[in-house]
Amino acid sequence: MILFPAIDIQKGKCVRLVQGDFKQETIYHDSPLEVGKMWAAQGASWLHIVDLDGAKTGQSVNRDAIIGLASTVQLPIQVGGGIRTMEAIKDYLTNGVERVILGTSAIEDPDLLQQAITQYGKRIAVSVDAKNGKPTTAGWTEDSTTDVSTLVNKLERMGVQTIIYTDIAKDGMLMGPNFEELHKLQDESKMDIIASGGVTTVEDIEKLRQDSLYGAIVGKAIYENESRFQKMMEVL
């Protein structure tokens, strides 16, 4: 299983939100690049980058900082947040980013998603961010009309190979991920599933690994206690 340290960028800084609330932010570092170097030095094999401003606006607001990080830190990087055109996808994938994550566009523009999958295959992932069993869009501020299982089934039929599942109620709360929903998705799908939201303890990592998940994204837990990252890595 892959452990993905999260670097969430807002206004050029590395921050964490609580339950996706843009009004509840904690700034952890002024330089996402230095944070990326730190996790690389501690043994990370991937980085998970989110342009929070992009997720809210639909534009790649922090694009330059992300490209700078991708070209400097010698690790594969997956990036999400506001990527809603083929031009934006191509820009990232030809400038050092290994995998692009589509969220709102995957739900609202299936033609774009299909085109991206056809052209870039496994380098396209989809973020399924759920609240009360329903996927959300536009940086977690708008509810969609479908349910998680229906959406995931549709994504798999379209050829998506990797999804990132986040239960918004768990995000930033340090109370563990939604194991029940993750287990259900793992049973229902053959896609690679990355757990996100609430992943906090070594025990969480062990449980996700035992369920054969492809990966887990860790954020607040390792920023509040950096030594926890090494302990998590030891059980993989």
Dist CA 168 CA 170 (whole Å) = 5
| pLDDT surpasses 60 at 20 | no
- We report the CATH number of the domain holding residue 38 as 3.20.20.70
218 DSSP β-pair partners: 5
pTM above 0.85, yes or no: yes
Q: What is the mean pLDDT of residues 31-36?
A: 95
Six-digit token pair at 82?
A: 């506001």
100 DSSP β-pair partners: 79, 124
What is the domain range of residue 30?
A: 2-234
Dist CA 164 CA 132 (whole Å) = 17
Q: Which residues are catalytic?
A: 8, 129
**Residue, of 172 and 100, whose pLDDT is higher:** 100
**Residue, of 170 and 118, whose pLDDT is higher:** 118
In the block, tokens 């998705």 appear at 185
Determine how many CB atoms are found less than 10 A away from the CB of residue 122. Answer: 13
Q: What is the pLDDT of residue 167?
A: 84
Per-residue pLDDT reduced to its tens digit, 78-107: 999 999 999 999 999 999 999 999 987 888
Provide the domain count of the chain: 1
Angle, helices 110-120 vs 86-93, to 10°: value is 30
